[in-house]
A and B are shown apart, each in its own frame.
Chain A
């Protein structure tokens, strides 16, 4: 039997009346690659925070590192025992060089007052050598790609004697190739006896990298499984506690004129020769890897990334979309990839977020905004999309990811769009909430809106779209009818790029 590095027994944590973790037992072996999965609110992040000493567990919890009981759970103690966390934001300093970013925690740990640059270079070169990578030493980290930034963050943990590396959603903004090279780095680390705890919601990645998988649900441990015991369906079931089944969406057969037609749309270094048609009531999927030009294309259709040439027709009429205002006037709605930054004003109320696109229509006497109309409009959005909210005046930031995404949808539905472009509509949303969002999208399509879903998750695109376009390196390289395409087949084509 493998030797345990970390052993946690009976871990519980209550926050203001909420049981975030309920007597969880958990262990990680030396040099093991372990995945932690669970939906939002399942207790994943609380567990990580307890391992790393950021949060203190309740009485009765026991933590052992290499058989030795840890009495005080301070960050500094766990770091000294070799536990390092790489948070999703990577905790880097974009304004500083690669060497400084790698060496800074070691320099602070040593407590020297003088900043010895040759030491700093030495420390970081050593760390880079351990995972056999070379990064430009004096480049500012802000100028590196996200993948390289991640390597910088990994190197930083290697400057101390790391035994367990915890990575929180490390792959969310990496391309397929970059994920592959990250995984090979993790496997390299494993060879030198470093264990990795990998938190992810992308199930196919979990299967690719993990040796064991621990599933949490509602603060309780459902179980720890060997990879061989699981498959996609079973893991989803374990995470959600229910069987999630998808029926195939099919568009209405009567088509008529296309709602939107794009001819030979091109933009240098973004996309090339893009032509497609979108019919009313249809859900068109556009899939491809990060960097295939899919988001750039979506932005072009919404007036935020003007193409160099090519034509766009709406209802057979040639149109120019040079700004977001143009797009909205033409009845186009756009749900951005990053809803936190681009889709919502997080600190503003739910009601205000919903009506922000239609303020023009809510004017009363003297052209001032009519409060009554605002209320009606936002309440309608909330009830139509069944958004679960504490109150219409609470800030959007208090909602879960799924409900936030509903608010963005409600905002666009309020404009009564003819065309909706949804970029990554379910990124970072729980499996069950995903399904609910998909239901809403289908209903919208049934009401005659033409919908474009842009997503790199093939399991999302295939069942929910009627047609799928595959993009690679800025071009559309194939069109598929969803009924005739298996997810596996399409996934292979996507990854082939």
Chain B
């Protein structure tokens, strides 16, 4: 393949443009603050954004299937709270913490799936409703109380580092176990989406639901999987969140839905379903992370963060729309003699 055609192939991918924006942004931030372009800062970003990254994977799959889930922050909050209460009162270990959180997440996700399938209401409305139900119940039963007294073994697990390094000033840093969990989630999702019939069927369902039924796909089963998987990842994210902040607050996560959805959409996932990639989602999360981290490092007021994210979303959507327009005008070619 010649160089120009390789270039043209790249130009067709949304991910390519996001990558360019990320590189430009990284150059700008580095020119202002050298601290940015260090492995230490990179590892730190990977750690603190693994929570958002895990949820983004779930949202990506829901979007590909042609639906949307708003309730995942509430599912995460509920799972986190239940998990915390359990490990404080009934002891346990890190595996049990994950197990409890995942079970709670799965149960809530299954409830979403059931409502969505049998009531046939648009998913956005169903999950806005369940967001309020889950969060409302949590607020009521927890009384809004924060939990600080997480067990020591939990604290010990959170500081495990897989790669250990020392920087110029002699301060130790490393790649957090939390990042490994995110990578594990990414690999799992990659295998499902790419190498299982289930994963390809989710793309098919999102691309054209009626066709999917006609080729014999079981829509009920697919939807059940998609929303339960969102619940499953909410459970994992719940533990990761507790590991990162070392306390559990019922109101800490709800309200961040749009940040996650924005990251996924920035990565090229289509709100109408059928399109989106893990690479794009990783880049979307990276972009959001850079914006927020860069603003801090450049000592710009963090209040600007939302404005920038909004602007980037507008530019990105305009670019996609522009590409679509070019594509359509190319298709209507009439070769005039």
Chain A residues with a Cβ under 8 A of chain B: 76, 87, 89-96, 100, 104-105, 107-109, 112-115, 117, 143, 145, 269-272, 291-293, 296, 473-475
Contact = CB atoms under 8 A, between A and B. Distances in A.
Contacts of B195: 114-115, 117
23 contacts: A76-B216, A89-B210, A92-B208, A93-B212, A94-B274, A95-B275, A96-B274, A100-B200, A108-B217, A112-B197, A113-B198, A114-B196, A115-B194, A115-B196, A117-B195, A269-B332, A269-B334, A270-B332, A270-B334, A271-B336, A291-B334, A293-B334, A474-B334
Nearest to B217: A108
A143 B12 CA distance: 12
Contact of A93 (B199, B204, B270, B331): B204
Contact of B336 (A105, A108, A473): A473
B195 to A, nearest CB: 5
A323 to B, nearest CB: 17
B337 A114 contact: no
A296 B203 contact: no
B3 interface: no
Interface in B305-337: 327, 329, 331-337
A393 B149 CA distance: 64
Given A107-B197, A113-B196, A113-B197, A95 B207 contact: yes
Given A94-B274, A115-B200, A87 B214 contact: yes
A91 B334 contact: no
A109 B337 CA distance: 48
Contacts of B332: 269-270, 296
A82 B312 CA distance: 52
Given A94-B274, A292-B334, 13 more contacts: A89-B211, A93-B212, A95-B270, A95-B274, A96-B203, A96-B207, A100-B200, A113-B196, A115-B197, A115-B200, A271-B336, A272-B336, A475-B337
Tell me if A's interface is mostly helix, strand, loop or mixed: loop
Interface of B: 194-201, 203-204, 206-208, 210-212, 214-217, 270, 274-275, 327, 329, 331-337
Tell me if B's interface is mostly helix, strand, loop or mixed: helix
B156 to A, nearest CB: 38
B207 A94 contact: yes
A87 B215 CA distance: 12
A145 B196 contact: no
B203 A95 contact: yes
The 4 A-B residue pairs with the shortest CB-CB distance, nearest first, are: A95-B274, A93-B207, A95-B207, A91-B211
A104 B204 contact: yes
A109 B329 CA distance: 38
B331 A145 contact: yes
B326 to A, nearest CB: 12
Contacts of B211: 89-93
Contacts of B275: 95
Nearest to B333: A269
Given A91-B208, A93-B203, A108-B215, A474 B197 contact: no
A88 B45 CA distance: 51
A65 B336 CA distance: 51
Nearest to B272: A95
Nearest to A93: B207
Contacts of B331: 145
Contact of A105 (B196, B203, B210, B215): B215
Most-contacted residue by chain B among A90, A107, A269 (CB, 10 A): A269
Contacts of B334: 269-271, 291-293, 296, 473-474
A145 B334 CA distance: 13
Contact of B206 (A76, A95, A109, A272): A95
Given A91-B214, A291-B334, A114 B197 contact: yes
A173 to B, nearest CB: 13
A104 B215 contact: yes
Contacts of B207: 93-96
A473 B274 CA distance: 35
Contacts of B270: 95
Contacts of B204: 93, 96, 100, 104
B15 to A, nearest CB: 15
Nearest to A120: B200
B245 to A, nearest CB: 38
A155 to B, nearest CB: 13
A96 to B, nearest CB: 6
Contacts of A272: 336
Contacts of A109: 216
A474 B336 CA distance: 6
A115 B200 CA distance: 8
B111 to A, nearest CB: 26
Contacts of B194: 115
Given A113-B198, A145-B331, A93 B208 contact: yes
Contact of A108 (B196, B210, B216): B216
